[in-house]
Chains A and B, each alone.
Chain A
Amino acid sequence: MALDRIRKRPEDHAGANLDDYERCAASFSWTQARSLLDGLPGGGLNIAHEAVDRHVQAGRGGKLALRWIGRDDQIRDFSYADLAAQTSRFANVLAQFGVGKGERVYSLLGRSPELYIAALGTLKNGSVFSPLFSAFGPEPIKARMSIGGAKVLITSEAFYLRKVEPWRKELDSLALVLLTECSGNPPTATVDLAAVMTAASETFETVRTEPEDMALVHFTSGTTGRPKGAVHVHEAVVAHHITGRFALDLHADDIFWCTADPGWITGTSYGIVSPLTNGATMIVDQAEFDAERWYRILQDQKVTVWYTAPTAIRMLMKAGAQIPKRFDLSRLRFISSVGEPLNPEAVVWGVEAFGKPIHDNWWQTETGGIMISNYPAMDVKPGSMGRPLPGITAGIVERRNGEICEIDKPMAMGELALRPGWPSMMRAYLHEEERYRKCFAGGWYLTGDLAMRDADGYYWFVGRSDDVIKSAGHLVGPFEVESALMEHPAVAEVGVIGLPDPAAGEMVKAYVALKEGFEANELLRKELLGHARKRLGPAVAPKDIAFRQNLPKTRSGKIMRRLLKARELGLPEGDISTLESEER
């Protein structure tokens, strides 16, 4: 049953950046959005300059840019001037080690201050930043660093020893490893970051980058093949900035908390860049999810805008709507969510718990920024992702005889598509021209998400059009998981799917058929689980493994994941005419 539309009254959105959706969408131009930024003093455009240095140059250096809260509740504050100095130090470190423009700097860090400094310092140096999620195991890390030809890695000593050192010599391109949290003498062929940072100068002239120069590489997963490195350029900052203003209603006096980890694109576009370009104060919490802690942070830090994810919201719901009432959350003005569709009940729960709805929005690694969103000044239809950002043209399309046709009929299902051309659109998948080209057809960027649009222009998510798994808001490629399990000597074939999970949306489950001579038992099941976890890490590894004697396959030997899933969930099996080898 559809829940009632949540109507916005004028007093709910006084002072909102986007005060009238229709009017803002009609008058919007990207040229105008570009004019909200400064550009580099001598020409060119650089994300770090827009995020940090331009505020210092305009006399706003004393403003609090980043408040970092440690696991143990210690607080470290960085003003815009502090951040400018620290990021300059990091850029000097890179320059001093001969790291140049366009070269790839990877991070594998928890949410420590160094991560934020490294991201912006790398961009200042004209190098390309690629953040990895710290819950990745050695194989996802190695694959992503190899694809990007990593020249530099910044990580902690513990992560390095456990996840990188064992295979490091296989990656020739890796010239410099900078370590945080060094216990003493850094391991062979690594550098203690703290020592070189102390010695580096606080002044650095930002390397001139052009709008189309590569700035960021974010990895995402497809159904088949290796992870895809989506390339974003410095011009993306135009979209980071304006979408933060419109979809998150960011103002310079906001205290903004994006709970996403920068290992995923949300944590970079909106956990680093957008709040800073908008001159706001951002909160970073090093700790993992904890319901009471989160409410305490919202209260104590006087958070005004909060950007979080459905998994976290569902866990907060589980804890109950009474708990937030124990805290003073009166400063909280706007709540937003991304990662996967937010169920209508959660949107409405926001009203009960916080006195305001939670605003869902939609975008992808490839789009670089929010594309479809709910806004302070627009009624919310619980369960809908909202309407396209000003400057974004979306559509529902289908393939008919190889042609792409737009579907105009309200609430007809098709693939969600976008007209290319916004600044933060990916420019390539690294070394994967063919896969990149396949994303575009008939003048559209095809998102791979199935959706519907209602008569009022609101979009509704339906599901993925492929086998990619969405767990806790992150895409997991079944092929990457299958490949790791196939490395085990007992495994003959494997199919990996996502099964519904009340908290995470989907959880990864693997179906394994064993080679001759291996017996399916609990001991082996655990061994395979451990094997996968060691290689992939908890963010990618399956949560459950089941044995089969044979997996359902097509004539060409392709495992029919769709069928595994339908059977597991007791859903109709659909077209099984291509099924050649039956599941046993």
Chain B
Amino acid sequence: MKVLSRVLTLALVTLGLTIPCYAEKIVVEGSTTVLPIAQKAAEVFMNNNSGADISVRGGGSGVGIASLIDGTCDIGNSSRSIKDSELDKAVTNGRSPKANVIAMDGICVIVHPANSIGALTKKQIKDIYTGTISNWKQLGGPDEKIVVISRDSSSGTFEAFGALALDGSKVRSDALLQASNQAVASTVSRTPGAIGYVGLGYVSSSVKAVDVDAVKATKETVLSNKYPIGRPLFMYTNGEPKGLAKQFIDFILSSEGQKLVEEEGFVGLK
């Protein structure tokens, strides 16, 4: 009996401790590119602030912005800026979307370290990935077939690369598919004729990042928008962020949050 009452007391105390200081709930929805950042940040944020309830969903940038306009989410994640048509709809609905840049997405084009090619133009990269150019010879390199390595078609990196470097054209169908940034980098490092693309965070000494349109991919060139295959990532809010949404975005912009951003392979703003 004594034991039972002790257990009960303990349970009650634990319950009491976990009663939230404030119970607020926000929904974050949208871009699958931003999803890993939002998910990781929400996890850490909720660990630090018991009681905060942040539910994170994917769906794509369009879905994120649409939900924000409809008022079904508090933060709409997007890997592109809002379109005019969406803005019009928002105004009709009495909403005023506000863009909050939370990170940059920079994608490096990488080749085998022994490859003599050190720079490509965006046009050449597009030609390689769509199949117009298929031998390094055509670019002034050795007579070697280009092994085109791409990502699985639902990854955010694939989507960003497709939009920024290929202008939406289809990747040649015989491109090799790898399921992660890491796998692309290690395949390129072992394949002399390979070309691949990875997030800036995944470039190491075992592969060579080529300059694109004569711009080297670095944190600085991505942040200053000089590097052509980079883009800002947004969290849209209705008006200035308030309450928990503000705390959450502030957390992502803090040095701790930006560290998470870099860990996920994106470029931090600081």
> Are A and B co-members of a single complex?
no
